[in-house]
Amino acid sequence: MFQKNKLAAALLISSAVLITACQPKNIFSATNIVENSAAHWLTSDTLVIKLENEADTVRIVSTNRLGQDETIALEQTVLSDDLKIKFPHLSQFTAFKVNKKLDLNSIVKSKNLVESYRNGELVAESYIQQAPLLDFIFTRQSNDANEVKDFGASVTASGIQFKLWAPTAANVSLLLFDNNKQPLSQPIELKEDLTTGVWSSTTNIASSGTYYQYQIEVFHPSTGKFERLITTDPYSLSLSINSKYSQVIDLNASDTMPAGWKTQTVPTVDAPEDLILYETHIRDFSAFDSKLSSPSYRGKYKAFSETDSYGMTHLLKLKEAGLNTVHLLPTYDLSTINENTADAIDLFDSMKKVCALVEDLDVCNDDNAQSLTLNELLSSYEPSSDKAQSVMEQIRGSDNYNWGYDPYHYTVPEGSYAVNPEGFSRIIEFREMVMSLHSKGFRVIMDVVYNHTFASGLAEKSVLDKIVPHYYHRYDPVSGSLEMSTCCDNTATENAMMEKLMSDSLVTWAKQYKIDGFRFDLMGHQPKDAMLRARKAVKQVDTDTYFYGEGWNFGEVANNRQFVQASQTELAGTEIGTFTDRLRDAIRGGNFQTAKEGLRRDQGVGNGLTVVPNDLQDDNLQVDEYLRSMDQVKLGLVANLAEYSMINSFGETVMGSQVPYGNGPAGYAKDPADTINYVSKHDNQTLWDNNQYRLPYNLTTDQRVRFQLLSLSYPLMAQGIPFLHMGSELLRSKSFLRDSYDYGDWFNRVDFSYQTNNYNVGLPPAEKDFDNWPVISKLLEKNEGRDQVQSEHIEFASGVFQDFIKIRSSSKLFRLRTAEQVKHNVTFLNNDVLKQRGLIVMYLGDSGLVDIDPALESIVVIFNSSDKTQTFATDASDYKLHPVQLEGADDVVRTSEASDVGFTVPALTTAVFIKLQ
């Protein structure tokens, strides 16, 4: 028979496996009879098992921490319809029933295996995935664990109360520390409420400002052993530098707030459709700003409280034009930036410091390099070389840069963005930033990442998985491998207490930090119902919050395999917005990973509406591709509504849901607030870099700039909500880097002084773009400098961009509130898009029962993406060019005409005409 002590030995794995960031993690040895985790305990008496090896008998063996076994017989049964609906991915597994009354509180604290026998011989053992059982025991009633309102450390009248949900733990102790991180007492034993699985204690030894950790004794499947683990609090509200200790804090106390916090005015909007979203990375905003009042504010929260800096001057220009919302890339506590500035590399640090922090850095062998700063060294390299990227590749793990999609603690501001990251200081500085933006008229959106964590298992920066092992993350239903389709360690928001952690965290940000809305990373990996419940909870403290995110459908949860997803199609009608790839792909092209395929540069056609020529080749496939793109653009301009009726480019009357996009419909939304329109964001190449891949070599610099602005005009003139990537209006480049998440200020630079757009500062990192190097080198040569911009081009682009925002803000016809208004008031006047290639004529009427814009009868927006002036024939004598464009930054658009002959619009121009009431 199989010996269990051999099982324990075989399950030992190295810590290197536990901290691997992007490889599937499987807890099983290939030579061990425990082959999988294909058993799932769903309710107190129901399991499902994917049987292997023609087993005829199965049983549970539960081993407690003292090594005592309990054997539990299983009887095959039929899975109920309710459980099939709740667990669709397990519905084809074989169901078994437990016919014995069990002490489930003890069972869940044990090592639980299913043994499978054939003819009396043990043929397989499987670990049991017991997250559903934990939910069944501790969260299904009306007053149990997921109704607890005060997890974490709370300041109460009787002392500091600590609460932690850890139902699988055998013991939980509280470790208290002073400001010097020295122990304040012996470990304090917490007591468990067996009804909720919550461990708690109240003590007077701790006070506001005390640091703490938890010590937990628990069986961990990652090692197959009972472990004693020390971790921070998943409900932390304050942290020490580098997040090694949680800290007690009362967020309602005055010593955690900047002056004026409680009396600040928060800007409002009448409806979500009024939002104009500006995606901002905190470090990018000010890392190069030489007009900050202190150099120590570069890349920090403090930069947003400046008044005369380059960045804030530009942001206030956008605000004056009508921009109303700043979207901050993740700014909760991150895992990969060292918050101690002495141990993190800054671009302006000396190479002596860099060489001291990074072992075996090639350039450190050059004595001349030692006298330079890192910025000076990188600037000394030829832009066409691969030297800058080589240095950045070697140091990026030690620098002070990351986008922030690496969650550590969900409900504490990130310390590296604070001048002082220790304790309360980061909270005060974060609140100062929010208050400053509010005072300047901006709403503040926060980017959140509840779909994965940076680490799990016994890794140093694992938190959740140390407290309730294999509950907060999602595992393959058969192999038990950790799912990593998001990039990292996928969380399981379908489990009640992970959903609660997300919801409680969101409420804290909304209530205590006055965050006005949330953008969800890979939202489609979360259940739709969880998102709706979370929004309901947040609306109880902030009635006009807005939720939106990435509703992509992929991975182990794709096509509602495990639950109804918070995906594009499923969220239609909820007014939780989803980014639309339809308009994006039709405008800029859908191939972001490489420039080697799908480009027909000599004819001037990319994979999108890239400078459409007057003569397409007589190629039916090419013509069809162009016509489909035009339909997708039009549908994008009406918020991708599924029930919008239009005449497509093939002359057929179709609904939006009948316009194809890949294997699905282009039209999926049911309300304008369902749709986030964009052509550029932090992911993939910037719009400028993407366009250089696709534009004809012989286009002038001015034409390239005009095409950039033409592309940006689509989301700003479309129904739905526009989303704008910071710096796209400044022709921002990352030197072709398609994924700059961890590649420092050198590639991510934004220059709000308008002197450079950061184009061609070196070949992009080989890890991301090596295959593109030949293409980049070729286009830099053949473009002959026509892709290099000067300060006047950047200023021009900024001015025209502001004009577009002013136009959108000038009329509610651009911001219609309902699908019925869009269907009734928006149409397209040109259906034969082959006759006048690259021309879209959009009509916004105000002839409905409700007078939407008292000043205007109608608006006509004409997008001319061709390189020729075009006239759309109609009687336009009652129209005139929009006054913003008549008085605006673009001399070319002022040559547009409206007459009895029609609307005449110059090449590469978006022109807006109005007809007064």
How does DSSP classify residue 47?
E
265 φ/ψ angles, rounded to the nearest 5 degrees: -100, 130
Q: Which of these is catalytic: 521, 689, 742, 803?
A: 521
d(CA 534, CA 892): 48
Mention every residue, 6+ apart, whose C-beta is less than 8 A from residue 514: 264, 266, 434, 435, 438, 444, 542
d(CA 907, CA 897): 13
Q: Which of 177, 243, 176 is nearest to 418 (CA)?
A: 243
Other beta carbons within 10 Å of 32: 16
Inter-CA distances, 549 with 417, 635, 676, Å:
24, 20, 8
Helix (H), strand (E), coil (C) string for 545-566: CEEEECCCCCHHHHHHCCCCEC
Q: Which of 891, 915, 895 is nearest to 905 (CA)?
A: 895
Q: Which of these is catalytic: 274, 289, 550, 739?
A: 550
Amino acid identity at 766: A
> Would you say 381 and 349 are in contact if contact means Cβ atoms under 8 Å apart?
no
> Would you say 39 and 126 are in contact if contact means Cβ atoms under 8 Å apart?
yes
Dihedral angle over CA of 779, 782, 784, 785, nearest 10:
-10
**Which tokens is 587 given?**
């405008």
Check if 521 is active-site.
Answer: yes
Q: What is the layout of strands, in order, in the sheet containing 880-881?
A: 826-828, 839-845, 856-864, 909-916, 880-881
Q: Maximum CA pair distance of the chain? A: 94
Dihedral angle over CA of 759, 762, 767, 773, nearest 10:
90
**Which tokens is 445 given?**
């959106």
Helix (H), strand (E), coil (C) string for 654-682: EEHHHCEECCEECCCECCHHHEEECCCCC
Check if 550 is active-site.
Answer: yes
d(CA 574, CA 539): 14
Catalytic residues: 521, 550
